Structure 1
Amino acid sequence: MSARLYLVRHGQTSSNVAGALDTKLPGAPLTELGREQAGIRGRELAEAGVSPRVVMSSEAARARETAGLIAAELGLETQALPGMIEIQAGAYEMQTGTEALLAYGRLIRDWLELGDLTSSLPEGESALDVQERTMPMIAELRESYLDNGIDVVLVVHGAVMRMMAVFAGAVPSQWALDNHIDNCAVIELVPDGGGWSCARWGDHVEMPRF
Structure 2
Amino acid sequence: MSSTEAPATNSTEWNEYLAENTGGTELIVIWTFTGTALVFASARWYVRAWMQRKLWSDDYLIAISVATGIIACALTNVSVSKGVGRHVEALSNEQLISATLWVYAAYCPSVLSFGMPKLAVIALLVRLLVPGRVHFWVLWLMGGLVQLALLGVVGSALGLLFSRCHPVDYALGRDNMAFCLDTIQCGLTFLDVAFSGFVDFYLAAYPSIVLYKLQMARRKKVIVSIALGLGAV
Q: TM-score, normalised by structure 1?
A: 0.26
The structure with the largest helix share of the pair is: 2
Higher relative contact order (CA 8 A, sep 6+): 1
The structure with the largest strand share of the pair is: 1
